[in-house]
Amino acid sequence: MKKVIIFAILSFIFTTGFGQRYLLYDNVENEWAKRNTNYGPNKKHYFYPYLKAGQTIGASADSLPAKYWGSGSFGIGIRYKNKLTSWWSHGLDLSYNYQTYSIAQNNEKMLIDNIQYEKEKLNLHQIFGNYYWRFRMGRAGNYLGKFFDVGGYGAWNIGKNHVIKADEGIVNAKKQKTKFKNVDYLEDIEYGIIARIGFPRVAFYGQYRLSTLLKDMPDNSDKLPNIVVGIELSLNR
């Protein structure tokens, strides 16, 4: 009630003391400049944020048997698009990406050791960059429209963790989770190629890693799945 009274007094002072109430005001001259801006989803420059989630697929080495449903990625980023022609754009994006590989525990598994744990994962925290060419499909107004992207990506692994979960052999004991941070047997840099198809708020993407993930391992023994397919949600209009 007190707030209502204060509001009523302030409203009275405002309306009587300061005169007028603008119900509508439009500065067309200023708005006109906005009409001719170069910034927009289908204009010269555009930035938009996005979320992405992916599933890791592809073959893995016998010594690094990946479990598909425990391996995937999640990211959040911002993308810049620079329009070159009505149908062709290029751009860059920068994102934070979390990539995890879940390693199956069997007799052939060999990741530093061949001990079979309850769970074992490699988790990567990445600064992920991507340069792409975009081909618009069909005509659209100031709208992202349908598109097809191809490009290359590079990722800096700012966090490289090897996580194991084990019961230490004690029946009914609480499972122990051990995280080895910034391990030196994982590479600092990852790179590959990427493609997307957008519709437009939702895009499907696939990325193929060309680089190795583990250091100083014999050929083929370091092979973790190198394909991620996923979905992106563009947080734009």
Partner 1 sequence: MKYLILFALFLSFALAQAQKGEYWVFFKDKKDVEFDPYTYFDSKAIERKLKANISLNHITDYPINENYKTAVLDLSESTTGETRWFNAIAVWAYPNQIEAISKLPFVKSTELIRSESHLAEKKINMKLSNDYKFMLKKQIEGMQGSKFKNAGFTGKGIRIAVFDGGFPKVDKHPAFEHLRENNRIIDTWDFVKEKPFVYDYSSHGTATLSCIAGITKGKQMGLANDAEFLLARTEKNTEPFSEEVNWMQAMEWADKKGADIISSSLGYTHHRYFINDMDGKTSLVTRAANMAAAKGMIVVNSMGNEGDIEWKYMGAPADADSILSIGGIDPFTDYHINFSSYGPTADKRLKPNVVGYGHAITASKTNITDSYGTSFSAPLIAGFVACAWQANPDKTNMQLMREIEKSGHLYPYYDYAHGYGMPQAGYFTKTNKKETPETLFNFEEKENVVSIVLNDNQQSYFSIGANKVYYHIRQSDGFILEYALVEPYQKEVVSISKDKLQGGNILAVFFNGYYAEFTR
Is residue 107 a contact point for partner 1 (CB under 8 A)? Answer: no
Q: Which residues pair with 49 in a beta bridge?
A: 78
Is residue 211 a contact point for partner 1 (CB under 8 A)? Answer: no
Is residue 206 a contact point for partner 1 (CB under 8 A)? Answer: yes
Is residue 227 a contact point for partner 1 (CB under 8 A)? Answer: yes
**Binding residue (CB under 8 A) for partner 1 from 4, 5, 23, 33:** 23
- 82: its two tokens: 């620079």
Is residue 33 a contact point for partner 1 (CB under 8 A)? Answer: no
Tell me whether residue 90 or residue 125 sits nearer to partner 1 (CB atom): 90
**Binding residue (CB under 8 A) for partner 1 from 16, 85, 107, 172:** 16
Q: What is the smallest separation between the CB atom of 16 and partner 1, expressed in angstroms?
A: 6
DSSP state of 118: S
Q: What is the smallest separation between the CB atom of 204 and partner 1, expressed in angstroms?
A: 8
Q: What is the smallest separation between the CB atom of 148 and partner 1, expressed in angstroms?
A: 5
DSSP state of 164: E
Q: What is the smallest separation between the CB atom of 228 and partner 1, expressed in angstroms?
A: 10
Three-class SS state of 4: helix
**Nearest-5° Cα angle at 208, 214 to 53:** 95
Start-to-end CA distance of the chain, whole Å, equals 41
Preceding amide of 225 cis, omega within 30: no
DSSP state of 17: I
Q: In this chain, which stretch among 19-27, 96-104, 166-174, 176-184 interacts with partner 1, using CB under 8 A?
A: 19-27
Q: What is the smallest separation between the CB atom of 145 and partner 1, expressed in angstroms?
A: 9
- Dihedral sign for Cα atoms in the order 185, 58, 123, 203: positive
